[in-house]
Amino acid sequence: MKLKERLRNIFLNNIGLKLGSLATAVVLWFVITNTSNPTTQRQYSNIPVRFTNTDTITDQGEVITVLDGTDTVSTVTVRAPRSVIDVLESDNIVATADARNLTDDGTIPITFMTNRYYSQVESIKASSYNVKVSVEAEMSKTMQLKAYATGTPEEGYVVGDVTLDQNQIRVSGPQSVVSQISEARANVDVTGATGSITTNVDIVLLDSEGGEIDTSTLTMNITSVKITANILPEKEVGISASYTGTPAKGYLANGEVTVSPATVRIAAKSSILNDISSIQIPADAIDISGASEDVSATVDISEYLPDGARFADSSFDGNVTVTVGIEKTAEKDLKVTMDDFAITNVPDGYTASFVSISDSEDAITTQSMPETLTLKISGLQSTLDAVTKDDFTFTYDFDTLISGSANDNISGIYTADAAITAPAGVTYTGGFHAAIRLSSEQDSSEDS
């Protein structure tokens, strides 16, 4: 009992003083604690929002699209003891949007916490507490991937084939976005290039007006592709053409064959390009049969390019226009005399002389009565204007006249038509018939 009394006296004696001392100790502890580790706050910027339980939407064939960039919270303010604030970084701030909490007005509430010392955090405040979203049907599209070269190679070079190591892409995402995709392309810059280029480039999606589509809401099976642009040397070559066929009666080709354009720039490997001097359009490509006026035809010259060559201008379709000039023939009377005719291959020991020569107009010339004879010639007017009788030959050949003769004495009068040679571009009608005396030189000496 004495022990109990002594303990009671210890606790109850001067109770006020003792309680005051306890309060003072608590206050001192609080002051010391807050002085050495005070509560403070810190602001963190651009905190991303992580979505959870999105399968509740995607399992229904729908996709979530964040609107207005609301999946990033611009500022988050954390209040906690300094010892905690000093070690917390932006990565420790966790912002979560649970798709199961999607509201009818298209928002999902954001919850905030820290992944360190969360029990010591006094409060977390944010500049926004909701993510704005749209939910719509998912759409997928498989597209042909196209390759393009941008820029201009070094002067004297052009872009050849541009190829990709993959030629298809599959895109999935919100129907409103995927439905706008009109083209998928890969671009390679060839500015200043003098040789082939191979590189990896990002794939670009375009709408029908050529605008680039934001791919942030899309899923693509590939986002980049290997592209190769062949760079080829070029040069300018001429184009020539010929023709086949005969114009209508009374008409001739005047020799003027024009090609428009007259030249074209082609590109190929140097080993091929060095062997090309011009492009030849064969005669069977242009037929002037029966023509009574100029003949024009469109010819695709691409089929006449050597293997491995192409047109330097990709917009040129290969079609050229070939025109063959056709003119009505003119006529002219060519005047000749007996001196314009020749006798050839006179047998040895014989002499030959004209008795008479007649033309198709029944004009006759003899040694004693010389007359002018006429040959009707025709051709282009420009040709006839320049031609003279000196451009013709009129020949009687005794090899032909006495061929097969078995007589020892072949003297006599021979008749024959002249062999006429006319210059190019000139034709003739009619001819000349002559009587020629072949005399033995022995007989002539005996007569004398």
69's tokens? 């960039």
Cβ–Cβ under 8 Å, residues 167 and 227 = no
**Between 15-36 and 2-12, two packed helices, what is the crossing angle to 10 degrees?**
60
Q: How far is CA 53 from CA 57, 59, 63, 73, 161, in A?
A: 8, 10, 12, 20, 48
Evaluate if residue 296 carries a pLDDT over 90: yes
Evaluate if residue 145 carries a pLDDT over 90: yes
The pLDDT value recorded for residue 16 is 64
In which band, very low, low, confident or very high, does the pLDDT at 28 lie, cut at 50, 70 and 90?
A: low
In which band, very low, low, confident or very high, does the pLDDT at 314 lie, cut at 50, 70 and 90?
A: confident
In this prediction, residues 287-299 reach a mean pLDDT of 96
Cβ–Cβ under 8 Å, residues 208 and 250 = no
Look at 363 and 14; give whichever has higher pLDDT. 363
DSSP state of 368: S
The pLDDT value recorded for residue 406 is 56
Q: How far apart are alpha carbons 255 and 425 in whole angstroms?
A: 10
Evaluate if residue 441 carries a pLDDT over 60: yes
In which band, very low, low, confident or very high, does the pLDDT at 3 lie, cut at 50, 70 and 90?
A: low
The pLDDT value recorded for residue 207 is 96
Torsion of CA 49, 53, 55, 61, to 10 degrees: -60
For residue 254, count other CB atoms closer than 10 A to its CB.
17
Residue type, 332: K
In which band, very low, low, confident or very high, does the pLDDT at 409 lie, cut at 50, 70 and 90?
A: confident
318's tokens? 């290969």
Q: How far apart are alpha carbons 446 and 448 in whole angstroms?
A: 5
pLDDT tens digits along 328-347: 999 999 999 999 999 999 99
Q: How far apart are alpha carbons 61 and 35 in whole angstroms?
A: 57
In which band, very low, low, confident or very high, does the pLDDT at 266 lie, cut at 50, 70 and 90?
A: very high
Evaluate if residue 79 carries a pLDDT over 60: yes
Q: Name the 3-class secondary structure at 38.
A: coil
Task: Reply yes or no: is the peptide bond before residue 423 cis, omega within 30 of 0.
Answer: no
Q: How far apart are alpha carbons 417 and 344 in whole angstroms?
A: 14
The pLDDT value recorded for residue 402 is 83
| 378-382 long-range contacts, CB within 8 A, separation 24+ | 378/329, 378/330, 378/331, 378/332, 378/426, 378/427, 378/428, 378/429, 379/252, 379/329, 379/330, 379/425, 379/426, 379/427, 380/252, 380/254, 380/327, 380/329, 380/330, 380/425, 381/327, 381/330, 382/254
The pLDDT value recorded for residue 410 is 87
The pLDDT value recorded for residue 403 is 75
pLDDT tens digits along 335-390: 999 999 999 999 998 999 999 999 999 999 998 999 999 999 999 999 999 999 99
Evaluate if residue 413 carries a pLDDT over 90: yes
